[in-house]
Every structure is written in structure tokens, then in C-alpha cells.
Amino acid sequence: MKVLLIYYTGTYNTRYLTDKVEAEFVRRGHEVDRVEINCDTPVKDVASYDLLGFGYPIYGFNSPLPFNRYTKKLNVRAGQAFFIYKNSGETLAMNNASSRILLRRMDARGAVLKGEYHFVMPYNIHFPFEKDFVREILDYDNKLLKIMMYRLEHGIVERIESNLLYDVAAAAVGIQKAGGAINSFLYRVDEEKCVKCGLCVKNCPEKNIRFEDGKVKFGHRCDMCMRCSFYCPQDAVRIGFLEGWRVNGDYGLAALDEAGPPEKPYITENSRGFYKCYIKYFAKIDEEYERLFGFGCGEMCGYEDAPEEERAVW
């Protein structure tokens, strides 16, 4: 099986997920290629792939503009199988609307959806997540990944339902459309803090940052991906009207993942406020995981009655 993973990432959470998805396919003996979308990524010929996987972080309840632009150009063929692995910081139902553009586009080309999955990852904007929370999130991501692979292999299609209200509201938010353009005029570097390491210049996916007269300067092609401000070792990048939501500093996902879930559950049935939405989300993963891989169940149980034709893979 030839699998192509096409993804956009700002602060590398989606890249981290993509590494994991790729490893799962490789472990099963499939051939995997991947494309990370930047401003100058050549358009890939996708026609020969058996399965396409699309990954993206949710931005203001939408898929990122560079992702939309890139996927529009792909020569997806009728009947081609695809799945979606999107991610975001929280699990509000409004996020469900984020795949509507991709789904519409794939539908118009006659491509066939094999599943859509929403992973949670730590926020790269708004506020930093505590380490124990990230460990718990990654533990659930690992479970969801296993569920996703099982379902993909067995032809069981998972859909994430949106509705007209969410779709319209998400389209109205479209934070990147106006936001990126306006905000790009407001980006600044704190000259007192900047050590001119060049990391932001080198890593900007839009090539929107340059050195000029020994100072860091921003152009007007910002994706609002937060890579520059998130990874600046001096926390010197100021992000305009989103400044109050700036998050700085690598979470160190691999080490937290390796450490496993926290000793005490971070989310409990008493979690309130912002954290409440995770209760249902985690419970649903637990329930499905138990059904598929729980004690006495083994890898094949849970879907024994799935029709044979649905099990035909891709």
C-alpha cells in the first residue's frame, strides 16, 4: 500500500502527530511518503497513492489557509481513498466545521472518505498547558491513533458531523483571512531581548521574516502559525493583537509522551470551565479503546459483525 501524508504545521504539533501516523503505517509494512506544506512546497503528484492522509491544526475553527491553498491544487482522482487527522487545543464542537472545505473539495473530485479523526494537542496560543495535562493528552492521542489505524484497516468509516450553524459560524470567524494580514503589520521584536540567532528567519514557513540592517523584520505574508514566537529562545517576538495569548517554549512532546500518563488523572468528572469539554472526549476514546482492545477482547473483537465488503481496505 502506498500512503501519502500531506500536512501543514505551525509549531510542529501536527508534525509530531504525522511522525506517529507514519510509524504506524510503516510498522504495518506500508510505503509512506509525506509532504509538509510551506509557501514553496512543490505540488505533489498524488494520483498513484492508494491512500491520502490529510493533517492540519485548527485555526479559529478552520483549516489553515496554506493548507487549503495547497490541497486545492492536488490532482486527486475519482475513487481515491483519503482520511483526515486534524488537531486542536480543545474539543469544542465548533471545531467540527474545520474540515468542510477539504471534504467539499474531495467530494467534488469523487474521492472517498475513509475516516476523520480529531486529536487534541497542547495549545500554541491562548495559554500554555501544564505538563501533566499534556501527558494525559498524549496518552489519549496514542489510544485514538490505535483506534484510527484499526478502523482504517477494517474499512470502518468514522465521520465527524458538523452542521450548518457551525459551518456558517466557522466561516465567519475565519481568523486568518483578515487577521494574518492586519496582524503582520503589528509583529515586533523586542530588540533588548533578541540575540539575533536567526531561528525565526530560518524557520518561518512563509519566508516572511528577514534580517535588515541587523534587525529582525516581518513582511506581510504571515500565516499566524506562531512558530516564530513559540520557539524564540528569548521570547522576544511580539504578536500584535494576539499578544495577550502568546505562548512561548517547546513542550518537549517526545519526553512527555515517553513519560506516559500522569500518576493522577488530570481531567476528572469534576473538571469545570475550559477543561469540561475533555470529559466527554476522553470518555468516548476510553469506551472505544476498551471495546476494541480491552481485556479478553483482542484486536478483532468489537467489529466482528462489520460487513465483509466494508473490511476491504482502500
Ligand X SMILES: Cc1cc2nc3c(=O)[nH]c(=O)nc-3n(C[C@H](O)[C@H](O)[C@H](O)COP(=O)(O)O)c2cc1C
- Binding residues (CB under 6 A) for ligand SF4: these are 189, 194-200, 204-206, 208-209, 216, 218, 222-228, 232-234, 236-237
**Got the DSSP string for 186-231?**
TEEE-TTT-----HHHHH-TT--EEEETTEEEE-S------HHHHH
> Which grid coordinates are listed for 265?
488523572
Span near ligand X by CB under 6 A; candidates 7-15, 101-109, 279-287, 291-299: 7-15
Partner that binds at residue 60, options ligand SF4, ligand X, none, CB closer than 5 to 8 Å by kind: ligand X
Span near ligand X by CB under 6 A; candidates 5-13, 99-107, 145-153, 285-293: 5-13
Between 11 and 80, CB nearer to ligand X: 11
The minimum distance between CB 173 and ligand X, in angstroms, equals 7
Q: Rule CB under 6 A: say whether 140 interacts with ligand X.
A: no
Q: Rule CB under 6 A: say whether 96 interacts with ligand X.
A: no
- CB 246 within 8 Å of CB 239: yes
Span near ligand X by CB under 6 A; candidates 28-36, 140-148, 222-230, 262-270: 222-230
Burial class (CB in 10 A: 0-12, 13-18, 19+), 178: exposed
What is the Cα–Cα distance from 154 to 285, expressed in whole angstroms?
18
Give which of 61, 9, 71 is closest to 225, Cα–Cα.
9
> Which grid coordinates are listed for 131?
505538563
H or E segment and range at residue 188:
strand 187-189
Span near ligand X by CB under 6 A; candidates 87-95, 143-151, 190-198, 233-241: 87-95
Q: Rule CB under 6 A: say whether 224 interacts with ligand X.
A: yes
The one-letter code for the residue type at 239 is I
Binding footprint of ligand X on the chain (CB under 6 A) = 9-14, 57-61, 87-90, 95, 121, 123-125, 175, 224-226
